[in-house]
Amino acid sequence: MANDSAIRRLPVYITIVVALMLAIAPLSDAVRPFWPDWVLLSLIYWSLVLPRYFGVGLAWLVGLVVDVAQGTLLGQHALTMSAVIFLVVRFQLQLRVFPLSQLTLTVVALLGTHHFLLFWINGVAGINAPGVNYWGPVLTGTLAWPLVYWVINLINIRRSRTG
Protein backbone atom coordinates (compact mmCIF):
# COMPACT_ATOMS: atom_id res chain seq x y z
CA MET A 1 0.00 0.00 0.00
CA ALA A 2 2.78 2.45 0.91
CA ASN A 3 4.76 1.42 -2.16
CA ASP A 4 1.72 2.17 -4.36
CA SER A 5 1.51 5.67 -2.85
CA ALA A 6 5.19 6.30 -3.56
CA ILE A 7 4.79 5.15 -7.16
CA ARG A 8 1.81 7.46 -7.63
CA ARG A 9 3.87 10.41 -6.34
CA LEU A 10 6.83 9.66 -8.61
CA PRO A 11 5.54 11.77 -11.58
CA VAL A 12 5.25 14.76 -9.25
CA TYR A 13 8.86 14.48 -8.19
CA ILE A 14 9.99 13.90 -11.77
CA THR A 15 8.27 17.08 -12.99
CA ILE A 16 9.83 19.08 -10.15
CA VAL A 17 13.30 17.68 -10.93
CA VAL A 18 12.84 18.52 -14.63
CA ALA A 19 11.77 22.03 -13.63
CA LEU A 20 14.88 22.33 -11.43
CA MET A 21 17.05 21.22 -14.35
CA LEU A 22 15.41 23.87 -16.55
CA ALA A 23 16.01 26.47 -13.83
CA ILE A 24 19.76 25.82 -13.71
CA ALA A 25 20.24 25.25 -17.44
CA PRO A 26 23.09 27.32 -18.86
CA LEU A 27 21.65 30.15 -20.94
CA SER A 28 23.00 33.18 -22.71
CA ASP A 29 22.82 36.56 -21.00
CA ALA A 30 20.15 37.67 -23.48
CA VAL A 31 17.81 34.76 -22.68
CA ARG A 32 18.34 34.41 -18.91
CA PRO A 33 16.22 37.47 -17.87
CA PHE A 34 13.25 36.11 -19.83
CA TRP A 35 13.51 32.46 -18.76
CA PRO A 36 10.24 31.42 -17.05
CA ASP A 37 10.29 30.25 -13.46
CA TRP A 38 9.60 26.61 -14.29
CA VAL A 39 9.97 25.46 -10.69
CA LEU A 40 7.34 27.82 -9.36
CA LEU A 41 4.97 26.99 -12.22
CA SER A 42 5.21 23.27 -11.48
CA LEU A 43 4.81 23.87 -7.74
CA ILE A 44 1.71 25.98 -8.40
CA TYR A 45 0.18 23.19 -10.47
CA TRP A 46 0.86 20.40 -7.98
CA SER A 47 -0.20 22.41 -4.96
CA LEU A 48 -3.38 23.35 -6.78
CA VAL A 49 -4.19 19.75 -7.70
CA LEU A 50 -2.83 17.90 -4.64
CA PRO A 51 -2.65 20.45 -1.80
CA ARG A 52 -2.60 17.86 0.99
CA TYR A 53 0.58 16.23 -0.25
CA PHE A 54 2.44 19.06 -1.99
CA GLY A 55 2.23 22.39 -0.26
CA VAL A 56 4.28 24.89 1.69
CA GLY A 57 6.81 22.38 3.03
CA LEU A 58 7.71 21.11 -0.42
CA ALA A 59 7.93 24.70 -1.68
CA TRP A 60 10.33 25.54 1.15
CA LEU A 61 12.59 22.56 0.39
CA VAL A 62 12.57 23.15 -3.35
CA GLY A 63 13.21 26.85 -2.77
CA LEU A 64 16.29 25.99 -0.73
CA VAL A 65 17.51 23.77 -3.56
CA VAL A 66 16.98 26.64 -6.03
CA ASP A 67 18.91 28.99 -3.73
CA VAL A 68 21.85 26.60 -3.53
CA ALA A 69 21.78 25.77 -7.25
CA GLN A 70 21.62 29.40 -8.38
CA GLY A 71 23.96 30.78 -5.73
CA THR A 72 21.49 33.34 -4.40
CA LEU A 73 20.89 34.37 -0.80
CA LEU A 74 20.07 31.24 1.14
CA GLY A 75 16.38 31.21 1.91
CA GLN A 76 15.10 33.90 -0.43
CA HIS A 77 13.52 31.54 -2.95
CA ALA A 78 12.39 29.29 -0.11
CA LEU A 79 10.59 32.20 1.53
CA THR A 80 9.00 33.58 -1.63
CA MET A 81 7.96 30.21 -3.03
CA SER A 82 6.45 29.09 0.25
CA ALA A 83 4.52 32.38 0.49
CA VAL A 84 3.13 31.94 -3.02
CA ILE A 85 2.28 28.28 -2.46
CA PHE A 86 0.59 29.19 0.82
CA LEU A 87 -1.73 31.45 -1.18
CA VAL A 88 -2.38 28.68 -3.70
CA VAL A 89 -3.18 26.12 -1.00
CA ARG A 90 -5.29 28.61 0.94
CA PHE A 91 -7.45 29.46 -2.08
CA GLN A 92 -7.18 26.20 -4.01
CA LEU A 93 -10.89 25.39 -3.77
CA GLN A 94 -11.73 28.66 -5.49
CA LEU A 95 -8.86 28.42 -7.98
CA ARG A 96 -9.68 24.86 -9.11
CA VAL A 97 -13.00 25.93 -10.60
CA PHE A 98 -11.49 28.76 -12.64
CA PRO A 99 -11.25 28.30 -16.39
CA LEU A 100 -7.72 28.34 -17.77
CA SER A 101 -7.97 32.02 -18.77
CA GLN A 102 -8.84 33.15 -15.24
CA LEU A 103 -6.28 30.77 -13.77
CA THR A 104 -3.67 32.33 -16.04
CA LEU A 105 -4.54 35.77 -14.69
CA THR A 106 -4.18 34.41 -11.18
CA VAL A 107 -0.79 32.93 -12.08
CA VAL A 108 0.28 36.40 -13.26
CA ALA A 109 -0.50 37.73 -9.80
CA LEU A 110 1.29 34.81 -8.12
CA LEU A 111 4.40 35.17 -10.28
CA GLY A 112 4.32 38.92 -9.72
CA THR A 113 4.13 38.38 -5.96
CA HIS A 114 7.07 35.97 -6.09
CA HIS A 115 9.27 38.32 -8.08
CA PHE A 116 8.25 41.38 -6.09
CA LEU A 117 9.28 39.60 -2.90
CA LEU A 118 12.61 38.64 -4.54
CA PHE A 119 13.06 42.28 -5.58
CA TRP A 120 12.35 43.45 -2.05
CA ILE A 121 14.68 40.91 -0.41
CA ASN A 122 17.50 41.78 -2.81
CA GLY A 123 16.90 45.48 -2.18
CA VAL A 124 17.17 45.00 1.56
CA ALA A 125 20.35 42.97 1.04
CA GLY A 126 21.80 45.67 -1.22
CA ILE A 127 21.85 43.55 -4.36
CA ASN A 128 21.10 45.56 -7.49
CA ALA A 129 19.76 43.92 -10.63
CA PRO A 130 18.00 45.29 -13.70
CA GLY A 131 14.20 45.31 -13.54
CA VAL A 132 13.97 42.92 -16.47
CA ASN A 133 15.50 40.20 -14.26
CA TYR A 134 12.42 40.40 -12.05
CA TRP A 135 9.61 41.18 -14.48
CA GLY A 136 10.78 39.28 -17.58
CA PRO A 137 10.06 35.87 -16.00
CA VAL A 138 6.59 37.10 -15.00
CA LEU A 139 5.76 37.84 -18.63
CA THR A 140 7.21 34.64 -20.06
CA GLY A 141 5.90 32.53 -17.19
CA THR A 142 2.42 33.83 -17.92
CA LEU A 143 2.79 32.88 -21.56
CA ALA A 144 4.21 29.46 -20.62
CA TRP A 145 1.54 28.66 -17.99
CA PRO A 146 -1.10 27.21 -20.38
CA LEU A 147 1.54 24.88 -21.87
CA VAL A 148 2.83 23.88 -18.43
CA TYR A 149 -0.74 23.29 -17.23
CA TRP A 150 -1.56 21.16 -20.27
CA VAL A 151 1.61 19.03 -20.12
CA ILE A 152 1.52 18.39 -16.37
CA ASN A 153 -2.22 17.75 -16.57
CA LEU A 154 -1.55 14.96 -19.10
CA ILE A 155 1.04 13.51 -16.70
CA ASN A 156 -1.43 13.80 -13.81
CA ILE A 157 -4.17 12.03 -15.78
CA ARG A 158 -1.82 9.13 -16.51
CA ARG A 159 -0.69 9.11 -12.86
CA SER A 160 -4.25 8.86 -11.60
CA ARG A 161 -5.13 6.11 -14.07
CA THR A 162 -2.26 3.89 -12.94
CA GLY A 163 -3.49 3.88 -9.33
Asked if residues 32 and 22 have their Cβ atoms less than 8 Å apart, the reply is: no
Asked if residues 25 and 36 have their Cβ atoms less than 8 Å apart, the reply is: no
Residues 49-90 have pLDDT tens digits of 999 989 999 999 999 999 999 999 999 999 999 999 999 999
Domain interval for residue 35:
2-162
Distance CA 162, CA 149 (A): 20
Report the domain count for the chain: 1
Q: Give the pLDDT of residue 34.
A: 95
The pLDDT-based confidence of 36 (bands split at 50, 70, 90) is very high
Mean of the pLDDT values across residues 35-58? Answer: 95
Sequence-separated (6 or more) residues with CB below 8 Å from residue 36: 137, 140, 141, 143, 144
Q: Give the pLDDT of residue 162.
A: 65
Residues 104-139 have pLDDT tens digits of 999 999 999 999 999 999 999 999 988 888 999 999
pTM score of the predicted model: 0.93
